[in-house]
Amino acid sequence: MTDKVCVGMIGGAFGVTGEVRLKSYTADPEAIADYAPLTSEDGQKSFDLQLTRPIKQGFAARLSGIRTKEEADALKGTRLYAERARLPEPDEDEYYHADLIGLPVHDTGGALIGTVKAVVETGAADLLELLVPGSSKTVLLPFTQAIVPTVDLAAGRIVADPPEGLLDA
């Protein structure tokens, strides 16, 4: 488990006064402001955050120290991280993506299927993108209770029962 969790991303400038487009990755999108100060992935930049209004696919927001459109545009693509201690504990059967990435995934017989590369949100059900051992190939595994019955963060492993044919190709 990491001490920081990605909670949002800057999409570039919104207007000419230094506001940014902000996509929130928190369960309650507006709660992102409660977890400030937020930092860049490398920890070099730190921002206080004020949401100014909802916009299509996120929020317009003000970040401390950002006053011009050019400064806001320079941050496009920057992922924002919050200290894990500031975040609520996930409910049972809920996980922070950062805790899943890198975990090995075994089938119910114990054979390694792959390693979690990413968690893909689709709107219906999340998918685990798995790196297949010995290959650069990835497969998408539905992240449902039926297909992924066990996530053991303490042991650092996931057990899955993939649908027939999913791993063939």
Pair (71, 122) in one structural domain: no
Q: Which domain holds residue 155?
A: 97-160
| 66-72: Cβ within 8 A, 24+ apart | 66/18, 66/20, 67/17, 67/18, 68/16, 68/17, 68/18, 69/13, 69/15, 69/16, 69/17, 69/18, 70/13, 71/18, 72/10, 72/12, 72/13, 72/14, 72/18, 72/19, 72/20
pTM for this entry: 0.73
Pair (69, 124) in one structural domain: no
In the prediction, which pLDDT does 152 show? 92
* Domain assignment present for 119: yes
Which CATH number fits the domain that encloses residue 70?
2.40.30.60
Pair (117, 74) in one structural domain: no
Dihedral through CA 101, CA 103, CA 105, CA 110, nearest 10? Answer: 180
* Domain assignment present for 167: no
In the prediction, which pLDDT does 2 show? 65
Last residue of a domain, one of 58, 84, 110: 84
Q: Could you tell me the two tokens for 40? A: 């860049």
In the prediction, which pLDDT does 57 show? 87
Write the burial class of residue 113 (CB in 10 Å: 0-12 exposed, 13-18 middle, 19+ buried).
buried
Q: How many CB atoms lie within 10 A of CB 91?
A: 8
* Domain assignment present for 42: yes
CA–CA distances in Å: residue 119 to residues 12, 25, 56, 60, 158? 23, 12, 23, 25, 13
The per-residue pLDDT string of the chain (169 residues; one tens digit each, 9 = 90 and over) reads 468 889 999 999 999 999 999 999 888 899 999 999 999 999 999 999 999 999 998 999 999 999 999 999 999 999 999 998 888 888 887 888 888 999 999 999 999 999 999 988 877 788 999 998 888 889 999 999 999 999 998 899 999 999 887 777 5
What is the C-alpha separation between 51 and 17, in angstroms, rounded? 14
Pair (13, 78) in one structural domain: yes
Pair (60, 121) in one structural domain: no
In the prediction, which pLDDT does 154 show? 87
In the prediction, which pLDDT does 26 show? 87
What is the C-alpha separation between 53 and 35, in angstroms, rounded? 18
Q: DSSP per residue over 108-119, as a string?
A: TTS-EEEEEEEE
